[in-house]
Every structure is written in structure tokens, then in C-alpha cells.
A and B are shown apart, each in its own frame.
Chain A
């Protein structure tokens, strides 16, 4: 009997090191599309207090937030109240500073 593609795919997933893959992906981004470190940290700080971020993943886009935050042209997909809207403004930055 031919193998079930879904079962085979899931077997593969269970053996995966997601964290290493995300780090590798972020490291592979070229400088012209990568956000600066300050922006990434501020974004992740906003994500960490968001109720729609579970296990490092955003429910609105299915992204690992660490990967999404690393691409400068992307925005927060949360409807109506995007958490990154004021990313260059004082509100989120202050919050980030406090956490530090």
C-alpha cells in the first residue's frame, strides 16, 4: 500500500527543530529586507503581550513572530488594532525600554 502523504508529512514535522530553522531563516535574510535590531526587539515586545500570540506564533498570519518581526516591510496583521502601528513612535518603544 502506498504511504499516506499526510501521515508522512506529520512524521517529518515531529522530528523537526523549529527554533533552529527560524534562526537559520532570519540569518539568511539580506540586509535590504531585514529590519534593524531595535525594531525587531520592539516588535517582539509588542507580540509578547498580545493575546493572539501563542507559542511564538501569530494566529492572524500563521507566522512565527520572530520570523515576521525580522522583515522590515511587514506589518502586524491584527485587525483594527495592529500592535506594531506605532513601532517608530514612543509608546511601544517606552514599553520595550521598561521591560529591559
Chain B
């Protein structure tokens, strides 16, 4: 005779299997979600770096001679290194690379305004412009934290000095 409230062996096993299955499904869902979010964040950072790099080597900026307004950066609507004297992509101006550093990169306030201009509300960015004669411009000029950065390297030509330039862009948390 069976007693009431007595738990059978089958019942215990069934509950165990049920709990195992539910745990598996939950673990599976959480893992997949994390993989997706990590992938999307990486992609997002890479695309930001790509668009910034394209802007630097393929755009004049707005106004075209924005480097003249380094004392009044609020006038500057868009940044680009392209030499305004020419109409070729990848034909950059060294003075713009220099002005970029002095206008946006040597203080935290200026750096925040740069991030705003580049549409980087949740990421940090680092830009290193190195010319083949060794001249290098860093942005920012102070140390920052770049968590899980995505990098992109571009090549350009500084015809006025007959030098090539390597532009390194990193976007991170």
C-alpha cells in the first residue's frame, strides 16, 4: 500500500530531468544573447572606426578650411584631412592633421567636443597620424582607456611634402 504524499523514484527523476532541460534552455539563450551582443558591439566599433577613417582620408571637412578656425572650434561642423587645394581622395593636408591635434586633442574638454563631432557618445577614439618623414600627431595627447578596441589603418599621400601618411584609428569602450 502506498502512503499519501510519498514521492516515487520516477517522480524524482522526472523533476530532475525537467530542471536539467530548463537550465539548459536558459543557459543556451543567455549564451547566444551574449555572443550576439559582443559581436554587434565589435561590429559597431569597427564601423565607427571605418567611417571616421573614411572621413579623414576622403573628406575636406566643413568648412573646407576648418583648420583656420582652431581658436574657434564651434564653427567646425565636420572634420576631414583632405587637402582643399585638390579634388582627389587620399590626398591629405599635413596642416589639417596638425590642426586636428591642437584643436581637439590636447585637453579633456576639447576631446569631448571631438567625440560629439564624430558622433561617439559611448565610445572613446584614438587617432595617430604618422608621416613617412617621422612626424607623428597623436589624438588625444593625454592617456585614455580604450576597452576592447577595434582598429583600422589607412594610407594617404601628402603631396606638398611628397610624403606618405599612415592613419591609425582605434575605437573602444
Question: Are A and B physically bound partners?
Answer: no
Residues of A within 8 A of B (CB): none
